[in-house]
Amino acid sequence: MKNKFLIIIFSFFLISCSEDTPYSNSFISSPHPLASKAGEIMYSKGGNAFDAAVASAFTLSVVEPSMSGIGGRLQVIYKQAEGKILGIDATTQIPESFNNNETDLPSYGYKTIGIPGVVAGLIKLHEENGVLDLETIMAPSIDIAENGFLILPGEIKRQQYEKEKIESFEGTKMYFLNSNGESFKPGDILIQKDLAKTLRVISKNGKKGFYEGEIAEKITDDIQSNGGFITTEDLKNYSAKESEVLTGKFNGYDINTLNLPSYGSITIQMIQIMDQLKIESERDWNLKVSRAVEEAYRYRTYQKDVDSVKSILSVDRAKQIALDIENNHTDIVSIDQIKKSEVADMAQGHTAHLTTSDKYGNVVSLTQTLGPNMGSKVASKGLGFLYNVTMGPYLGGYLGEDKPGDRASSHISPTIFSKGDKVVLALGAAGGNKIPVAINQVAYRYLKTGMPLVDAIFFPRVYKSESPIYIESHLGINHLNDYEFYPESFNVEMIRTKAYFGRVHAIALDSINGKWFGSADPDWEGSVSEFK
């Protein structure tokens, strides 16, 4: 009896110790409420930040199919509770049979599809870090695909925007037009039985369930019969890789982000330049930060060169650029008058970002995308998901010609700011070439000016790249009078519509109270969820 009593006491002690965690809660910020809910469910089942991130990412493939999905690409940076900051490259890859002499590639369609990476990346993230089984993690996404969900207005707009292109592909019409051949409308429920079947196979068989067997054969049969390049060998040989983590310095914090095919070096350089600027007013912010953006973006073509990357990451180089901006920041006068423009809206957005953290100290910052809105616009009958754009004009602009085996580089840049062994801010963004812009301007306002995170994400952003200074000024932004800051001769355009300047989903640490908190970008339809 005495021994039995001691065993009970010892067991209680172990349980108590297992709950002695460094933080009091777990958290998720994602671009869709159902994706945030999927993460919360994982926490409630004893899962960690990796389980929550993978569950949320698969769910986004169902509820935001225009933004990302299992036919797309992924980049993720993460901090293990008692370990290092690491990254995963699961971006799309150019098939071996691709002929890089093709000069007239379309901007969408079968010829633009590269080897998908999302499934391999999510499986790698889960296998190396998760604690729940894959079927449990994928259950929310399968259930939502099987039984349907209410489509949010943004997703409806994005699908309506591409209706003419959707009509070009038999498989895509099956899944993204209703029985009358029309786009979905507010109040509609989207049910995706074939996608549920595909996800269920993955949940039971892991990576092989997607890259080998029946699903792989359906992918290659459809793509090759319509002039595309992917073969069964391309799929079988694809693997998610460990990414190189790059580091920089900002206001006493370490910046951690990823090397190519992620644009992490540009993200680091941009905020290191910003760190050296004297910003004393909103006018300074707009004029000087816009120049920092422009100067950093001049280096995009040099990211493949090792010596160039060293220069890009150099704080001394950032100081030189900042000094030049300080000495010449008024040299942007143009004969153009200030303009008010509407250049983008939620119908034209692309990419999805989510961030998770848990009570143990694990943190995940994950970005996935199809490329442009609805990717290639192609979905294969019987599978239910859209494919990415990898080859063609969409990604051919900065880093050279496409050739077999290359992986698609992009502005995707999931980022972690840390101090010592603690994460203080983890974030990323959607929004094409505005991704580093959004990440850095939010981080600067939060970490350097002390602005609350929700305000740092809400406050207007600024962009310039061989263009006018674009300033966010849509309805809801509490911006001072547009004309207070600038003479009529300044080349400034106020952007009135939402979602043009990236959409950020971030989590930060309240070190005093030992808890996580976060925010979802108000320009999108996302949410945050906390589990205690």
Q: Per-residue pLDDT tens for 161-188?
A: 999 999 999 999 999 999 999 999 999 9
* Mean pLDDT to the nearest integer, 394-406: 72
Contact 412, 439 (CB under 8 A): no
Checking if the pLDDT of 299 tops 50, the result is yes
Checking if the pLDDT of 381 tops 70, the result is yes
Contact 6, 499 (CB under 8 A): no
Q: H or E segment at 253?
A: strand 253-258
* Mean pLDDT to the nearest integer, 343-347: 48
How far apart, in Å, are the Cα atoms of 355 and each of 5, 264, 320, 484? 44, 17, 34, 37
CA distance 443 to 414: 12
Query: pLDDT: is 276 or 468 the higher one?
Result: 276
pLDDT of 411-460, one tens digit each?
999 999 999 999 999 999 999 999 999 999 999 999 999 999 999 999 99
- 12: confidence class by pLDDT, cuts 50, 70, 90: very low
CA distance 187 to 150: 6
How far apart, in Å, are the Cα atoms of 138 and each of 102, 221, 241, 351, 402? 39, 26, 22, 21, 34
Beta strands 492-495 and 339-341 are parallel
Q: Say what the pLDDT of residue 529 is.
A: 98
* Mean pLDDT to the nearest integer, 482-494: 62
Radius of gyration of the chain (CA): 23
Q: Which residues pair with 508 in a beta bridge?
A: 425, 517
- 479: confidence class by pLDDT, cuts 50, 70, 90: low
CA angle 303, 305, 307 (to 5 degrees): 110
* Mean pLDDT to the nearest integer, 8-33: 71
322: tokens are 């900042």
Q: Say what the pLDDT of residue 17 is.
A: 44
Q: H or E segment at 275?
A: helix 264-276
Q: Say what the pLDDT of residue 298 is.
A: 95
The share of the chain scoring above pLDDT 70, in percent, equals 88
Contact 359, 26 (CB under 8 A): yes
Q: Say what the pLDDT of residue 296 is.
A: 97
- 105: confidence class by pLDDT, cuts 50, 70, 90: confident
Contact 64, 351 (CB under 8 A): no
Maximal C-alpha separation, the chain: 92
H-type alpha helices, 302-381: 306-313, 315-328
CA distance 75 to 355: 12
Checking if the pLDDT of 16 tops 70, the result is no
Amino acid at 187: G
* Mean pLDDT to the nearest integer, 242-251: 98
- 348: confidence class by pLDDT, cuts 50, 70, 90: low
CA distance 212 to 205: 10
Residue 103, C-beta contacts closer than 8 angstroms, at least 6 positions apart: none
Exposure string (b/e) for 410-448, b if CB count within 10 Å is 16 or more? Answer: bbbbbbbbbeeeebbbbbbbbbbbbbbbbbbbbbbbbbb
Checking if the pLDDT of 352 tops 60, the result is yes
Token pair 């169902």: residue:
62
Q: Which residues pair with 87 in a beta bridge?
A: 77
- 476: confidence class by pLDDT, cuts 50, 70, 90: low
Beta strands 189-190 and 469-472 are unpaired
- Least confident stretch, 183-192, 261-270, 465-474: 465-474
Checking if the pLDDT of 11 tops 50, the result is no
Checking if the pLDDT of 329 tops 90, the result is no
**39 three-state secondary structure:** helix
pTM of the model: 0.93
Q: Say what the pLDDT of residue 344 is.
A: 46
**126 three-state secondary structure:** helix
* Mean pLDDT to the nearest integer, 208-220: 98
Query: pLDDT: is 341 or 463 the higher one?
Result: 463
Mean pLDDT of the chain: 90
- 491: confidence class by pLDDT, cuts 50, 70, 90: confident
